[in-house]
Amino acid sequence: MSKLIRFLSSLKIAIAVISLLVVLAILATLVPQGRDASFYTENYGNGLGNAIIRVQFNKFWRSALFLVPLAVFFVNLLACTLRRLSGRLRRKAPLRIGPDLIHLSLLLLIVAGGFTLFSRQETVVFLAEGGGFELPDGKTIRLKNFDFEMYDDGRPKDWISRVEVLNGKDVEKTFSIEVNKPLRVGRYRIFQSSYKNDAVAVFERDGEKVTIKPGEAMPFEGGFIGFLEYQSTPEGNAAVFIQEKDGKRTQISLFAGEDFSGILLSDLLVHSESGLQVVTQKGIILIYLSLILLCIGMFLSFYQKLGDMN
């Protein structure tokens, strides 16, 4: 058993595993995480893109590439801690609580980090201005307005969602959510994650109005008219429809004010929607506790070293 403990607590293993984790973590920062598989093949080519997906480098922090070396480091650190404590107890040497606290805090940090990672829950909600959603604790997030700021050359600069936090009908606070400025509501954090444009086509026929969105359809002369998408053109926004009649399908592109077969596209309403990511995770308190213990351990180690020098 003592030979196994000595092997597992080897400094060489610790250095090798830490070096591997550092290199892999640096590489992981160069690869966008959590995107669709098509993103990686389109941006990195089929070969490298498929390799990234196969080794799960697209979700590195949950992959075996990260978790296996981390588990090895945990075992190494635990063995080192046990070997150190047992040796001091056997020799009846005075305990040095500083280094022991450092080891224990790192062990706790790894456990807390893993618990936090796998208890993390994420949901993305798209809101138009005036829309809202309810959190599980009963509070409501309502979008007042959404700004998409761009640089002069057209590149995205910032997305800003100005929201209200409502408790019943009362506004508790207002907040501007930005890409690196999340809103915290209780145990929930709300991030600005994305945006999208949506459209509503308004038809008039025989004095009645009908509205449909992309992906929806309405009956028409024994067939249907389906709203495929809208397109931005130099002349304005155009709606693309598909008409099915007598078993035949025809694609039609219309601007607001145009008609076909006695039906008028009276309006095409295009609006932006803000994509807000709602995140909740457990174990944050354990992470804070482990960091506090780490600081105490470092202070005690430094203090004990000064005592030895005197």
Q: What is the pLDDT of residues 22-77, one digit of tens each?
A: 999 999 988 888 777 888 888 888 889 899 999 899 899 889 999 999 999 999 99
CA distance 224 to 95: 82
The pLDDT value recorded for residue 139 is 92
Q: Do the Cβ atoms of 259 and 265 come closer than 8 Å? A: yes
Q: Do the Cβ atoms of 210 and 233 come closer than 8 Å? A: no
CA 91, 93, 99, 103: dihedral to nearest 10 degrees?
Answer: 30
Q: Band the pLDDT of 289: cuts 50, 70, 90.
A: very high
217-276 tens-digit pLDDT? 888 777 888 898 888 888 888 888 888 887 788 888 888 888 877 788 888 888 888 999
Q: Do the Cβ atoms of 278 and 209 come closer than 8 Å? A: no
Q: What is the mean pLDDT of the chain?
A: 86
176-234 tens-digit pLDDT? 999 889 999 988 999 998 888 888 889 887 778 888 888 888 887 778 888 988 888 88
Q: Do the Cβ atoms of 198 and 271 come closer than 8 Å? A: yes
The residues with which 248 forms a beta bridge, in sequence order, are: 245
Checking DSSP bridges between strand 259-260 and strand 156-167, what pairing results, if any?
Answer: unpaired
CA distance 209 to 202: 7
CA distance 161 to 144: 8
